[in-house]
A and B are shown apart, each in its own frame.
Chain A
Amino acid sequence: MRAPRLLGLHASPGRGLALLLAAIPFVLIVGGYWMASSARLAENPNDKLLPAFSTMAESMHRLAFTEDKRSGGYVFWQDTLSSLRRLGIGVGLAALVGLAVGLPVGLYPGLRSLLLAVVTFLSIIPPLALLPILFISFGVDELSKVVLIFLGTVFVITRDVYLTTRAIPAEQITKALTLGATHLAVATQVVLPQVLPRLLDTVRLTLGAGWLFLIAAEAIASTDGLGYRIFLMRRYLAMDVILPYVLWITLLGFVLDWTLRTIVARRFGWYEATRT
């Protein structure tokens, strides 16, 4: 009996058909936009709400490849660089601190008694509510934006590292001790290598929150950055810039996610194979 191609529980679309199916929604979205945009522009050539693809391309070309007269740089790349730097430093620091706190707290009962309650408590504070405090104490430039991203992601990462550490069977810890491990070596040789791939996975998932805090901070106080540009352009109803920027942010997020996923799959094959 042949499996159906498309419908039902037993469907097995081949590789080609699967690709085609996946493309359909994208084509529909782009096509739908194009039709709606053409219809509005036919009625009013100055319509700003749904700009034509050609207008978007022109605007982006201007931002990406012509020197800005005021700053002397290329606005698009400057925005991208600034945003990625803030995101990278914020989430990167959060990952390091999350590992440095979550692992020992998960492993050593004394530290757990000392820190677990306070970490859990702090993690409940909504980071955006801290933004005014950050602006007041660190000023409105780089530092407060990075600190916001850091605070917005560090607790989730810490708690996840903690839970991952706790999930390592007690048998493994005892086994390591019978093989001569010191209390420190259990952390560095047994727990750390098993937590690392999970940490990369968690960073992947946390990047979403990272972008959120990045754009929130840039929207409120900044002089460059992808979020800053979007909110600046909002004043001029410049959808021809806003839409490509949103698409660009999505693309960057996708590439970051894919990169981390590939690292986990390449470097930690055992993790992919054994996780349940």
Chain B
Amino acid sequence: MSDATPNGDGAPFLEVRDVYKSYGDKLVLDNIDLTVAKGELCCVIGPSGCGKSTLLRLILGQERVTGGEIRIEGGPVGWPGVDRGVVYQRYSLFPHLTVLENVTLGRRLRCGWLEFRKRRAEFEEEANGYLAEVGLTGHGHKHPHELSGGMQQRVAVAQSLILQPKILLMDEPFGALDPSTREDVQLFLLELWETHGMTIFFVTHDLEEAAFLGSRLLVLSQYYRDDRGVSAERGAKIVSDQRLHAPGTALSTRTKQSDGFSELVARARQAGFDPEHLQHAREFDLAHPDSVQTLTSEEDGRGD
């Protein structure tokens, strides 16, 4: 638990406690416990429909939990706000604004129209700095539809960074990109993560992407068993939680060719994506030091 409490007041940076989420009769997230330390690049994978995007939207505040609670730096998350940035697979940019206007939008909305007019030059310089950092100098005057998919996602990251959110939530941000572009933006994200020391919560359905990017890899899956009986309504749980690497050690795509990497991917695939492979909730591989799991007495019939 020590890594999760850098501010020393006992509250982890991000804390998800006993969270349930259901839509009507359908239980999606089933007693999720999770703490994430500041500075972590936390990747979440899982089979489609397992609720990984739901978990992200709950942290974002776009949706409400059915049970349990989510806290950031000790405070409940509430509605979407400036402390959490977000990048979606699509629709992150505003089509009616130019790239520069998209990036400065956070400033404009924060300080109001009059103040923005007064400090416009300063904000645009700042935005141009971010655009340079994401490799898009000279594209500020364009509209999003004039950029390629990879460029659009870079702008979306710059747009979120300008307000320096406590945590950046990314929902399959590179899912719509072709493989070579995808590798480019992955490396770009790792660089940004290093330089800014950001905390990132990254949802993807691509196991290799998660294993390559993450400093921590969470597998969310509905394929497991517990002591609630066969007929019980079950949602997804975190079935695997691994520490992957310290910041700075993954900055090469060659990592993807190593034996350790393929073994890691294979283990995560078995834990989360194989409907035949049902581990008991007691025996999940939750090796990460920040990992927490509180099973109910129904889930774990032995009790403790």
A interface residue numbers (CB < 8 A to B): 169-172, 174-182, 185, 189-190, 193-194, 268-271, 273-274
Contacts and interface: CB of A to CB of B under 8 A. Distances in A.
B80 to A, nearest CB: 4
Contact of B163 (A179, A189, A190): A179
A270 B106 contact: no
Contact of B90 (A171, A176, A185, A193): A171
B81 A177 contact: yes
B145 A179 contact: no
A175 B86 contact: yes
A171 B82 contact: no
A194 B96 CA distance: 6
Given A172-B91, A271-B96, A274-B145, A177 B106 contact: no
Contact of A178 (B80, B91, B95): B80
Contacts, number: 74
B88 interface: yes
Given A185-B109, A270-B145, A273-B145, A178 B86 contact: yes
Interface string B126-161: 000000000000000001111000000000000110
A178 B96 contact: no
Given A185-B109, A270-B145, A273-B143, A178 B81 contact: yes
B105 interface: yes
Contact of A179 (B90, B96, B146, B159): B159
A190 B91 CA distance: 12
B105 A171 contact: no
A178 B160 contact: yes
- Specify the main secondary structure of chain A where it touches its partner: helix
Interface residues of B, number: 30
24 contacts: A171-B88, A171-B90, A171-B92, A172-B91, A174-B60, A174-B62, A174-B80, A175-B86, A175-B92, A178-B163, A178-B165, A179-B159, A179-B163, A180-B106, A181-B109, A182-B109, A189-B105, A268-B96, A269-B143, A270-B95, A270-B143, A270-B144, A270-B145, A274-B145
A113 to B, nearest CB: 19
A274 B86 CA distance: 22
Given A179-B159, A181-B109, A273-B145, A194 B86 contact: no
Given A176-B105, A182-B109, A270-B95, 7 more contacts: A171-B91, A171-B92, A177-B81, A179-B110, A179-B163, A185-B109, A271-B95
B143 A180 contact: no
Contacts of A181: 109
B269 to A, nearest CB: 29
B84 interface: yes
B235 interface: no
A185 B94 CA distance: 14
A176 B86 CA distance: 10
Nearest to A170: B62
Contacts of B92: 171, 175
B109 A180 contact: yes
Contacts of A171: 88, 90-92
A178 B82 contact: yes
Contacts of B86: 174-175, 178
Shortest beta-carbon contacts, A-B, top 7: A177-B80, A179-B106, A171-B91, A180-B110, A169-B91, A180-B109, A270-B143
B144 to A, nearest CB: 8
B237 to A, nearest CB: 26
